[in-house]
Amino acid sequence: MTRSPFLLILCAACLPAQDFSDIKIEKVAGGYTFTEGPVWSREGFLLFSDVPNQNVWKLVPGEKPELYRGNSNRTNGNTFDARGNLYSCEGGARRLTRIDKKGNLEVVAADYQGKHFNAPNDVVVRKDGHIYFTDPAFGNQAEGRQLDFYGVYHIPPKGPVELIAKPEGRPNGIAISPDGKILYVANSDERNIRAYDLDSRGRATKERVLISGIDGPPDGIRVDEKGNLWITCKGVAVYTAAGKFLHRIELPETPANCTFGDPDLMTLYVTARTSVYRIRLDVKGALQY
């Protein structure tokens, strides 16, 4: 592992408990085309996607990455549920899939009202089994679209697929607050984060813009145990649950997504273009499943 230089920008009036004076960024994997979809497994490893090459890789800390899944249909976002099932947004196949612990693959959703999705991008599963995912269309994903809108969706444990929102800009990263009561969605075109209240039945209401004017198109989102949002944009920007800017960490490459990992969930793993980086923190991530 090699250490990389970084730039840290702080809001002096609202510094968090984390001491960033000696923070270190380590490159733990490299040589890929476009890394995305990092997720930490309770079994002690990280998964991440190399989207153009249609591979999902497994990284055990301290070891070399090994291929976890090939021919992944340009899988982007990944997440686990409470049972250890892996959910993947297969942009190339325009569908959301689930792989159980035995390796069996199941298509969870491939269409809305009889029309194929654009290109599912990122997904999160609440601890009680409610699934939420975004469906934008970037680049050539717009070719052959059947839906004339971008969507944010909800799938209850017993289905069917429900449409939460049809934003003008493209929705991207998605996350849930530690208590499971707020859904966060990044909008890359509008450079904002929208929030929705979630009830016990998983329904999303009270849409509002929580954070606006983000420096760089926001992509992935993760939440720490204090409710702070960690957003990949121009660097990794951190905001409070109330939407107040705290600080930003810039990496050697533009980040696409991030996740908390290691057994104590106090390491931030960041997928950034050709590489994967890790940053040890003083705050613990909120397990999203």
Question: Is residue 92, in this structure, part of any structural domain at all?
Answer: yes
Once rounded to an integer, what is the mean pLDDT over residues 11-34? 74
Whose structure tokens read 């990389």? 4
Q: At residue 2, does pLDDT exceed 60? A: no
Encoded tokens for 30: 């490299």
**Collapsing DSSP states into helix, strand and coil, what is residue 155?**
strand
* CA distances in angstroms from 58 to 1, 29, 69, 128, 274, listed in the order given: 16, 11, 9, 26, 15
DSSP characters over 39-93: EEETTTEEEEEETTTTEEEEE-TTS--EEEESS-SSEEEEEE-TT--EEEEETTT
Question: Is residue 287, in this structure, part of any structural domain at all?
Answer: no
Q: Judge whether 190 and 171 are in contact, CB under 8 Å.
A: no
Instruction: Kindly report the CATH number assigned to the domain that includes residue 72.
Output: 2.120.10.30
Question: Is residue 107, in this structure, part of any structural domain at all?
Answer: yes
Q: At residue 168, does pLDDT exceed 70? A: yes
Once rounded to an integer, what is the mean pLDDT over residues 269-286? 97
Following CA atoms 45, 48, 50, 51 in sequence, which dihedral angle do they give, to the nearest 10 degrees?
A: 150
What is the Cβ-side half-sphere exposure of residue 72, based on CA atoms within 13 angstroms? Answer: 30
Q: Judge whether 220 and 231 are in contact, CB under 8 Å.
A: yes
Once rounded to an integer, what is the mean pLDDT over residues 115-141? 96
Q: Judge whether 27 and 277 are in contact, CB under 8 Å.
A: yes
Beta-bridged to residue 235, according to DSSP, are 233
**pLDDT tens-digit map of 181-216:** 999 999 999 999 999 999 999 999 999 999 999 999
Nearest alpha-carbon partner for 182 in 167, 202, 164: 202
User: 140: pLDDT confidence band, cut at 50, 70 and 90?
Assistant: confident
**pLDDT tens-digit map of 76-116:** 999 999 999 999 999 999 999 999 999 999 999 999 999 99
- Least trusted range by pLDDT, from 6-20, 154-168, 252-266: 6-20
Number of domains in the chain: 1
Once rounded to an integer, what is the mean pLDDT over residues 24-39? 98
Question: Is residue 285, in this structure, part of any structural domain at all?
Answer: no
pLDDT at 23: 83
- What's the pTM value of the predicted model, to 2 decimals? 0.93
Sorted by sequence, the CB contacts under 8 Å of residue 126 that are 6+ apart come out as 132, 176, 180, 198, 202, 289
Q: At residue 16, does pLDDT exceed 80? A: no
Nearest alpha-carbon partner for 216 in 243, 182, 242, 249: 249
Once rounded to an integer, what is the mean pLDDT over residues 132-142? 93
- Which residue did the predictor score with more confidence, 201 or 140? 201
Question: Is residue 288, in this structure, part of any structural domain at all?
Answer: no
Q: What is the mean pLDDT of the chain?
A: 93
**Collapsing DSSP states into helix, strand and coil, what is residue 35?**
strand
Q: Judge whether 220 and 229 are in contact, CB under 8 Å.
A: no
Q: Which domain holds residue 168?
A: 2-280
pLDDT at 288: 67
Question: Percent of the chain beyond pLDDT 90?
Answer: 88
Question: Is residue 224, in this structure, part of any structural domain at all?
Answer: yes
Phi, psi of 41 (to 5 degrees): -95, 145
Question: Is residue 289, in this structure, part of any structural domain at all?
Answer: no
- Which residue did the predictor score with more confidence, 12 or 258? 258
pLDDT at 8: 46
User: 47: pLDDT confidence band, cut at 50, 70 and 90?
Assistant: very high
